[in-house]
Structure 1
Amino acid sequence: MELRSVEELMDLLYACRGVRDTRMPGGSPVDLHEHALRTAALLRRSRPADKELQVTGLVHPIGQLLRPGDPATQADHAADAVCLLLGDRVARLVRRHPWHGAPADDDLASLRHADEEGRTADFDAGVLEDWRTVLELVAGRHSTLRTAD
């Protein structure tokens, strides 16, 4: 599946509501929608200028909707789905997100930290609609680069 518009992506992110992530051993299940919002909000706080990283935090859980019950390929499917719309960097970070061991770079370290904190943090992360403009900005930036090639 390739997402071709911010609207399609927003629909998929809304569909994360009520879906529980149970992949963390020993941890309690988290709502994917809330977790995505918290992860993105934490990245906005720590890396305010890096919209692509923030968007990665928002979209990284969609693989669990695209490939339920298949954790080994969820990140790849999520990356493939967002690549055309959001660009190579976001896709690369989504694909490398469920790493094992230490993260290879600052972006992945920031994403990992926000992801882990977003599972347990208890704060109002706003609503998905708050992210529409940022998603459109990243998608528009990528679209401009794609047409320039």
Structure 2
Amino acid sequence: MDLLRNGPGEGHGLRVAALLRRSHPFDKELQVAGLLIDHPAETVRPLLGERVARLLRLHGPGAPAPGHGPDTESLGHAAEAGRVAVLDAGVLEDWRPVLELLAAGAYGRTA
């Protein structure tokens, strides 16, 4: 939570995560990648696993072109929409249970 509170773009990440929660309700790792969209991948890998870090790496600056996979494309679309979306994205504290469960390995920490 400290990483998120002190990191860049909290509002953008909240909007991206909210959009992904609607479009991919069962993919918690993808949602969390959206929440952390403006954070460096290697910062989150030890806490939240390789898949979240890989999604962030593939989306970040110098990332591969679109078409690198449906999850990466979904993240990219949500990131763009999150820049202009006007929606109630909630507050950062709403994500605490998901982050804690993901960090504990409850969602399988897939590669």
Root mean square deviation of aligned Cα: 1.7
CA radius of gyration, larger in = 1
Residue 45, structure 1, aligned to residue 22, structure 2: yes
Q: What letter matches 2:43 in structure 1?
A: A
Normalised to the residue count of structure 1, the TM-score between the two structures is: 0.66
2:14–2:35 CA contact under 8 A, matched in 1: yes
Q: Over residues 63-111 of structure 1, what are the superposed CA-to-partner deviations in whole Å (9 max), with x where a residue is unaligned?
A: xxxxxxxxxxxxxxx2111111111111111111123532310100100
- Corresponding residue of 1:120: 84
Q: Percent identity?
A: 55
Unaligned runs of at least 5 residues, structure 2: none
Unaligned runs of at least 5 residues, structure 1: 1-9, 20-31, 63-77
Q: What letter matches 1:11 in structure 2?
A: D
Shift of 1:60: 2.1
Q: What letter matches 2:102 in structure 1?
A: V
SS of alignment partner, residue 80 of structure 1: helix
The structure with higher relative contact order (CA 8 Å, sep 6+) is: 2
Matches within 5 A, 1:64-103: 78-98=40-60, 99-103=63-67
The 2-side partners of 1:81 and 1:49 are apart by: 24
The 1-side partners of 2:82 and 2:67 are apart by: 17
- Corresponding residue of 2:98: 134
Residue 11, structure 1, aligned to residue 24, structure 2: no
The 2-side partners of 1:86 and 1:53 are apart by: 11
2:58–2:64 CA contact under 8 A, matched in 1: no
Q: What letter matches 2:2 in structure 1?
A: D
SS of alignment partner, residue 60 of structure 1: coil
